[in-house]
Every structure is written in C-alpha cells, then in structure tokens.
Amino acid sequence: EVQLVESGGGLVQAGGSLRLSCAASGFTFDDYAIGWFRQAPGKEREGVSQIGSSDGSAYYADPVKGRFTISSDSAKTTVYLQMNSLKPEDTAVYYCAARLTYYSGAYYPDPDEYDYWGQGTQVTVSS
C-alpha cells in the first residue's frame, strides 16, 4: 500500500524557515515523481515543487523560486521541502503527492496528474 506522510509544518514569523518532510512507502516503481502542493482557505490547490526519482530533476512554481528547495534522501524514501524567507502568502496546508509514472524531465503541475496524496501539514506564516 502506498503511503505518504507529511511532517514539519508549524507557525513561523515572516522571513523564517521551515523544512517539510514527506515519508513515502509502498512504491515498487522505478520512475515516479513527488510533488508538493498547497491549498490556502478559499483557494484551489496549487503546485509548489516537484522532484523526479530517476533523474532528480526539480521544478518550482514561480512564487517560490529562489526561496524553496526540494530534495530527497539517498534511499529516495523521504522528500524534503526546505522553505526559506517565508511570507504570509505562503500560509496553507501543504500536501505531498506521488505520481507513479514519470518521464525524465517532465513536469506535472496539475494535482489531477498525481495518484496518491498525504494528509497534509499546516504551515502558518505570521506577519
């Protein structure tokens, strides 16, 4: 059974940092993508970042470029999202998601393109 478990959310002041973790298990595929998404109250879920398992390609949405960094551990069982210079507009529930087919260099910003989701972790940035 595929499972994704996020952790690391919390309350931080503007300008601060948080590191989110997404622990993945139950994968038997060689090529997959892990994406981070967020959803603020009253807004649609939006893509934040993505990493490919086979090539490590990383993509970032424009609002977070230069501030967020996605990475994975050597065993590729945990994906991290380092968030620096946080802004109040980054406040949202953050989700990680897995897409079990991935083509090197492809970017999947649409939540509908993902197969499995974690439960989410709240990030609140105070001004």
Contact 86, 68 (CB under 8 A): no
Beta bridge partners of 50: 35, 59
- The count of other CB atoms within 10 Å of the CB of residue 121 is 21
Q: What pLDDT digit, counting tens, does each position of 32-55 carry?
A: 899 999 999 999 999 999 999 888
Question: H-type helices in the chain, by residue range?
Answer: none
pLDDT at residue 28 in the model: 62
Residue 27 has pLDDT above 80, yes or no: no
**Which tokens belong to 56?**
């490590």
Question: 58 or 31: whose pLDDT is higher?
Answer: 58
Residue 63 φ/ψ, nearest 5 degrees: -65, -20
